Amino acid sequence: IDYPRPELENAVNYLEAAYLSSTFRTSPHPNKPLEVVIAGAGLAGLSTAKYLADAGHKPIVLEARDVLGGKVAAWKDDDGDWYETGLHVFFGAYPNMQNLFGELGINDRLQWKEHSMIFAMPNKPGEFSRFDFPEVLPAPLNGIWAILKNNDMLTWPEKVKFAIGLLPAILGGQSYVEAQDGITVKDWMRKQGIPDRVTDEVFFAMSKALNFINPDELSMQCILIALNRFLQEKHGSKMAFLDGNPPERLCMPIVEHIESRGGRVHLNSRIQKIELNDAGSVENFLLSNGTVIRGDAYVFATPVDILKLLLPEDWKEMPYFRKLEKLVGVPVINVHIWFDRKLRNTYDHLLFSRSPLLS
């Protein structure tokens, strides 16, 4: 069942995103547009190219594979079924993404679901526990109500300790959130006096869903950014699915927008080497087929592991690029299971597994 699109346009974060993106269109355009070469045709690379084109420049997007989307890529098999690189949902608290849908005129491609978060019950196979957010209450009361009404996962003493532990994050704002970058989710919870069972019951699933890693590895800043959005925005935790595969239903409209403004998007254009000039800056990208691509500026919008492989030797000892050593990609396996009949207890919604293996 699909639900009406929520009223996102009045949220502060959405208004800020809409204003910032509008400045690309409304600011004076350059007399001589820059040719900007962008590595990667995922959402990062495509959106970069989209806004550069809006600002009057000429982006050239290079994608190594034969499909758009990067981490939202998908492939059709011989039976006509689509296989995606992962399950993708779009929260109301994604202001830049929601604004992009609006600018492209494709808001109708989002299928909004009931305002709930549904968790599997590992000790009760086949059963699920719900956090239902009432539409009549504003944020953060709708979220507080959802937590208080759920008695399957947390006891009342745990709920109280959880609420008290979150107060510094709620009252401290963005500066507090940023200061928690160096502490893991598990350590932060213990520091705040929140029982380990809260981490196991709720934040294990949240950590897996956000970054595919465990609470003893994930920075608490990541969790607090999401929680703050959910607590500040009435529809922040509401979710939508795309009405089809991302390359066709989301990425192609961005490509069409880019090309209508003079930009270019090339598939099967794998970068073999970043070639430097005598000054140590980029001279050009050399593709694996021998083609040389030059521009006035260059952007890398790929997974960090790819940039590490292509990083010129002359750059590796620079303090700026040495920071890349601490960035490590997380390997993820996506499994599609097709059933030949409707399952019992099915939900037309996202389900959080609460498993140490699955997200």
Q: What is the pLDDT of residues 282-299, one digit of tens each?
A: 999 999 999 999 999 999
7, part of any domain = yes
140 cis-preceded (ω within 30 degrees of 0): yes
Residue 114 in contact with residue 3, Cβ under 8 Å?
Answer: yes
Same domain flag for 24 and 100: yes
358, part of any domain = yes
Whether 75 has a pLDDT exceeding 90, the answer reads: yes
Per-residue pLDDT of 221-275, as tens digits, reads: 999 998 888 888 999 999 999 999 999 999 999 999 999 999 999 999 999 999 9
Question: Which range among 24-28, 59-63, 326-330 shows the weakest confidence by mean pLDDT?
Answer: 326-330
Residue 294 in contact with residue 284, Cβ under 8 Å?
Answer: yes
Same domain flag for 147 and 192: yes
Domain count across the chain: 2
Same domain flag for 64 and 2: yes
Same domain flag for 55 and 132: no
Same domain flag for 144 and 83: no
Same domain flag for 144 and 221: yes
334, part of any domain = no
Calculate the average pLDDT of the chain.
93
239, part of any domain = no
Q: How far is CA 32 from the centre of its chain?
A: 34
Same domain flag for 43 and 187: no
Tokens of 54: 């809006």
* Residue with the larger pLDDT of the pair 175 and 28: 28
Same domain flag for 224 and 122: yes
Same domain flag for 317 and 230: no
Same domain flag for 276 and 228: no
Mean pLDDT of 48-75: 97
Picking from 69, 65, 46, 117, the residue whose alpha carbon sits closest to that of residue 242 is: 69
Same domain flag for 128 and 184: yes
List the domain range (segments joined by +) for residue 253. 1-112+244-328
CATH of the domain at 288: 3.50.50.60
Same domain flag for 30 and 78: yes
* Nearest-10 Cα torsion for 110, 112, 118, 119: 10
333, part of any domain = no
341, part of any domain = no
11, part of any domain = yes
12, part of any domain = yes
